Structure formats: C-alpha cells, structure tokens
Amino acid sequence: MKLSHFQFNLPTELLAEYPAENRDESRLMVIDRAKKTIEHKTFKDIINYFDDGDVMIMNNTKVFPARLYGNKEKTGARIEVFLLRELNAEQRLWDVLVDPARKIRIGNKLYFGDDDSLVAEVIDNTTSRGRTLRFLYDGSYDEFRNKLTELGETPIPKYITREVTPEDEERYQTIYAKVEGAVAAPTAGLHFSRHLMKRLEIKGVDFAEVTLHVGLGTFNPVEVEDLSKHKMDSEELIITQEACDIVNNAITQKKRICCVGTTSMRAIESSVSSARTMNPFEGWTNKFIYPPYDFSIANCMITNFHTPKSTLLMMISAFCGHDLMKKAYEEAIKEKYKFYSYGDAMLII
C-alpha cells in the first residue's frame, strides 16, 4: 500500500483539546472484523467484551516532564528544549530538540529556572532541530533528575495550543504508569480508570505489562509514498518473563488477547518466537507495522483515532482491514468522535 491510501480530511474541531471529564466515559467505537459491524458505546462498556482468563497487554511506560524553557546566554532569547533521551548519565548528556533551532549553535549555553540554577552547553548538532546538550549541575545525579522534573512541563502534543494545566500532569499519564522514560503517553491506556480496572480484575481478566518508552518518532510524518522506505525511530523496549508467561498461557487456552494501544502492539510484535509466542526482550525496536501484516499474538486491540498518513493509522489498517478501517473513520467523522491523544477510543475485535 502507498502513503496516499491513508489520506483523509479530518476537521480540526475533532482534534481533542481536553480529556473527557472521566477517563472511562469517553466514547467507544466497537468494530467486529468478522461481522464487519460498527457499534457505538461508552468506554466503560468494554468490560462486556472480556471474560475470565482473557488478557490485556498494557504499556506501563511513564511520561516524564520533557519540555523545558530556557534562556540563551547574552541575548536572553527564550528557547524551548524538548528532552528526547539520556545519552550518558555520568556526563549528563541528553539528546534534545530545540526551538527556534536557528539560534542555537555549538558552544552556546542555556540557562534554566528563575535563578539560573541549571545550565546546559550545546556540544553537537544532530539534525536540523536536534542538539546534544551537556547539563552543568553541581548536585548529585538524583538531585539533577529532580531538578529536571521541577523545571520540566508535561509534554502534551503540539496540536494542543492551550497552556499546560495541572490536570494535564495527571491525565496525560495512564493510571498504571510505572517506568519513567516516555516523552509521549501511550494514549489508548488513558481511558482506563481505577474502578474499571478493578471491575475487569474481579471478572478474571489478567493484565500483562510491557514497557515501551514512546519517543517523538512515533509521530514523525511519513514522507515517502512507498511505505517500505520509511524508517521508524528506535524506542527502548522491555518485556519480562512474567508478561510472557501470562500471554503465552492465554494463547494456549485460546483466550482473547487484547493489546491496549499501538505501542503495546509494536512491543509484542518485536519479540515473537518461531512458534508465534511471546519472548522476553530487553533492547530497542524500530518495528514498523503497515499492511499487509500477519499479527502473531493479539486477536483484538484498543486504540484511539489517529491522524491522516500517520504510522499509527497504518498499523490500525493492517489489523482491522483497510476497507473496514476507512468505513469506521468515515463513521467517526460523521458522528463527531474526538481524535488523537485526548480523543475517543476504538475496540477492534
């Protein structure tokens, strides 16, 4: 398939600026691949589709406050610094994006905080907006990380043009987030409330946690018509033996195995054995899933509604079937479902 197969007109008013009032009361579209049917529900109705022994695979990555604002030495120009990944803890080296980039050159220093208590020096250019920074801070490593957290801001997506609120600190994070390292939330999981998870647990649903630290590369635009030429950024992935045991037991028992989100799907499809079971994994993945694709583990998935030409939409097309996915998205636009990070959800069975 080609990039142009994933273009559609998305009205800007359908991009969700705010989360639903309650996590589990966002809207839910249910797509049955076998029956080719589309139903309209509320997210908490999801409990009706799962039974004892079924498994939900969830990405327990935790978003860290990755967006900082500093001032350039001498000129005092305000510069946004988006922390992508730590390159060297001992030397406090970070891979970052800067904006505006044209003002930031090797050797420049940036000052953060009202008291300039944190300083960073630009030591390399990586891409047009990418830089390597060395942070200069007198305290211990833990104190340094605490300082980044103190000065950082929840990195809600750029399409949300309003100011970040205290509500975003809570709502742009899943309730089961544990392992810090993501710069974007695994948004399908944002719909789960503690009450809903408890009800699923009482019903006998098992939860298998994987960790895939979502990077900004997930949202990079695809700029080639031939999808086989697109390269995904690598993201850190950890799959434990415990998670494998839960999932592989469900495979044996022929239970429903549901991936919560595209990041969970990329995680498990990055570590499949020749017997089509899940293997433990610790490393990096740049897995790109687009049609046609033969999925090995999950037989259903929960996801949000994605933007045109995105790699996330391509994965959904591969899982759902392209024609059914197009029909579902046409219906979503007609019914005014909310799209993207704070948007509504879809269950594909």
Strands 118-125 and 109-112: antiparallel
Q: Identify residue 20 by its one-letter amino acid code.
A: A
Residue 91 contacts by C-beta under 8 Å, 6 or more apart in sequence? 134
Q: Per residue of the chain (349 residues), what is the pLDDT tens digit? A: 899 999 999 999 999 999 999 999 999 999 999 999 999 999 999 999 999 999 999 999 999 999 999 999 889 899 999 999 899 989 999 999 999 988 899 999 999 988 878 999 999 988 778 999 999 988 899 999 999 999 999 999 988 989 999 999 999 999 999 999 999 999 999 999 999 999 999 999 999 999 999 988 777 789 999 999 999 989 999 999 999 999 999 999 999 999 999 999 999 999 999 999 999 999 999 999 999 999 999 999 999 999 999 999 999 999 999 999 999 999 999 999 999 999 999 999 9
Count of CB atoms within 10 A of residue 199's CB? 15
The Cβ-side half-sphere exposure at 259, using a 13 Å CA radius, reads 27
318 within 8 A of 296, measured Cβ to Cβ = no
Entry pTM: 0.92
Query: How far, CA to CA in Å, does 26 sit from each of 23, 237, 245, 332?
Result: 7, 29, 32, 13
pLDDT digits (tens, 9 = 90+) for 51-100: 999 999 999 999 999 999 999 988 989 999 999 989 998 999 999 999 99
Strands 55-59 and 206-212: parallel
Cα separation, 22 vs 261, whole angstroms: 19
Count of CB atoms within 10 A of residue 283's CB? 11
